[in-house]
Structure 1
Amino acid sequence: MIQVGSTLPEVDFSMIKDGELVNPKTGDLFNDKRVVMFAVPGAFTPTCSQAHLPGYVALADKLKAKGIDSIICLSVNDAFVMDAWGKANNADEIIMLADGNGYFAKQIGLDMSTSNFGGTRSVRYSMLVEDGVVKKLNIEDPGRFEVSDAQSMLDSL
């Protein structure tokens, strides 16, 4: 499992940018940047939609005022779902990133099986990444939402 001090693996993601499907690599998103990334089990799911994403939307300006270059929301969903979810939540300041096949989640050891609910998904977590290296990592226990929220990340910066 990934830990503080680890370098993120180089993988291809997908996202919608300016109406087009693009496939940025890890380096494109994290190299030479200070990034807050949070991952959710699924777009449009209750805790993710009612608390996790809205918290980062509400605190995006405060996070960026602390020297954060970008904020990424990651989920094992496709880029079109992530784009629609971002639009539904006015997440204009958040990069809505898709790990469609769960490859990144598996590479960092933060994947989980939800069986018939949705198959392979990501564990709920947040991390601070500087130039591709994990500096802070907040992993939630299953069914919890206590340490990966936006306010906890802001307080730790």
Structure 2
Amino acid sequence: MQPGARIPDVTFRTRVRDESLDGPNPFRWEERDTASYFAGKRVVLFSLPGAFTPTCSTYQLPGFEKNFETFKAHGVDAIYCMSVNDAFVMNQWAKAQNLENVEVIPDGSGEFTRRAGMLVRKDNLGFGLRSWRYAAVINDGRVEAWFEEPGLCDNHPEDPYGVSSPETVLEWLEADAREQAA
């Protein structure tokens, strides 16, 4: 996606905690559309091949979580992590990662990812259809900056990581802030 492009308009099937429900799984289904996440906000969205995978769990997600206050200082209202995983998996991963700042978005059917041009096959890893790794700064539903890992293709033999890192996105935000101040 190019700067200025509007992000795909889709509905996500999420699971949210509901204290009125009894039992060991007090969650209910809730549909949230793109606008509920992105309208009227400047956000960072990053997407990755899968919850619980090594690079995603060790570097990318923890880096965004740890640097949340720095992102906020650069005018970012929220940070979202998206993956082609269902709401159950994404919620358990968020819990396992002790997330307090980054919100996960389950793109279980891959519809947002497909419409963004980032859906790839990862059959070589036994994953099936997943997201290519990318990050974006999105302002009120429009792409402000796009950070896509090189080599977008089906069954890529490696898992490139660097262009979509929190450090790279922060460098861009810092440069953008300097440019706006000049």
TM-score range, shorter chain: over 0.9
Q: How does 1:141-156 map to 2 (within 5 A)?
A: 141-142=150-151, 143-156=159-172
1:16, CA displacement in angstroms?
A: 3.1
Question: Quick check: 1:5–1:134 contact (8 Å CA) kept in 2?
Answer: yes
Match of 1:65 among 69, 73, 89: 73
Match of 1:86 among 94, 106, 109: 94
Please give the TM-score of this superposition, normalised by the length of structure 1. Answer: 0.94
5+ residue gaps in structure 2?
18-26, 152-158, 174-182
1:151, CA displacement in angstroms?
A: 1.4
Q: How does 1:23-38 map to 2 (within 5 A)?
A: 23-38=31-46
CA RMSD of aligned residues (A): 1.2
One-letter identity of the residue aligned with 2:7: L
Question: Quick check: 1:57–1:90 contact (8 Å CA) kept in 2?
Answer: no
Matched length = 156
Please give the TM-score of this superposition, normalised by the length of structure 2. Answer: 0.82
1:65, CA displacement in angstroms?
A: 1.8
1:6 aligns with 2:1: no
1:60, CA displacement in angstroms?
A: 1.0
Show CA shifts across 1:97-141 (max 9, x none). Answer: 000011111111111001161111000000000010001000012
Greater gyration radius? 2
CA–CA distance in structure 1, aligned partners of residues 116 and 134 of structure 2:
12
The aligned residue for residue 144 of structure 2 is: 135
Name the stretch that deviates more: 41-50 or 21-30. Answer: 21-30
5+ residue gaps in structure 1?
none
Q: How does 1:93-104 map to 2 (within 5 A)?
A: 93-104=101-112
CA–CA distance in structure 2, aligned partners of residues 24 and 107 of structure 1:
17
Q: Which has the higher contact order (CA 8 A, sep 6+)?
A: 1
One-letter identity of the residue aligned with 1:104: F
Give runs of ≥4 in structure 1 deviating > 6 Å: none
The aligned residue for residue 125 of structure 1 is: 134
* SS of corresponding position for 2:62: helix
CA–CA distance in structure 2, aligned partners of residues 62 and 23 of structure 1:
30
Percent of counterpart pairs with the same letter?
A: 39
1:59, CA displacement in angstroms?
A: 0.5
* SS of corresponding position for 1:24: strand
One-letter identity of the residue aligned with 1:12: T
1:20, CA displacement in angstroms?
A: 3.3
